[in-house]
Amino acid sequence: MAEARVVIRTGGGLHAGPAAALVAEARRHACAVTFACGARAANAKSILEVLALGVKDGEELLVRAEGEGAEDAVGALARVLGEQRGRL
């Protein structure tokens, strides 16, 4: 298992643009990937679940992956989040 905590700084939270980029990256990995914010959790490969988290700008997102390639998945998702900062 691998995990990382990332503060969301997209300028608008995890709305459709950044959420779609994250889901697309999560789907590239065979391992199970989840996002959690507070007590809420979502399958990172489901756009509806990710949007339903309602993550606002400034909130912390826990990215967790389990299975083969978990470390690579978490690293790739953290990079995507970093790339989204202030762009969307």
> Cα separations (Å) of 49 from 2, 69, 87?
21, 22, 22
* Six token digits for residue 41: 């959790």
Distance CA 27, CA 40 (A): 20
Looking at the predicted structure, is the pLDDT value of residue 88 above 50? no
Looking at the predicted structure, is the pLDDT value of residue 11 above 90? no
Q: Is the pTM of this model over 0.85?
A: yes
Q: Assign residue 29 the CATH number of its domain.
A: 3.30.1340.10
Number of domains in the chain: 1
Residue 29 among the catalytic residues: no
Catalytic residue among 2, 3, 4, 15: 15
The per-residue pLDDT for range 17-63, each reduced to its tens digit, is: 999 999 999 999 999 999 999 999 999 999 999 999 999 999 999 99
- Domain range for 76 is 2-84
Range 1-26 average pLDDT: 93
Q: Which helix (H) or strand (E) holds 74?
A: helix 70-84
Amino acid at 58: G
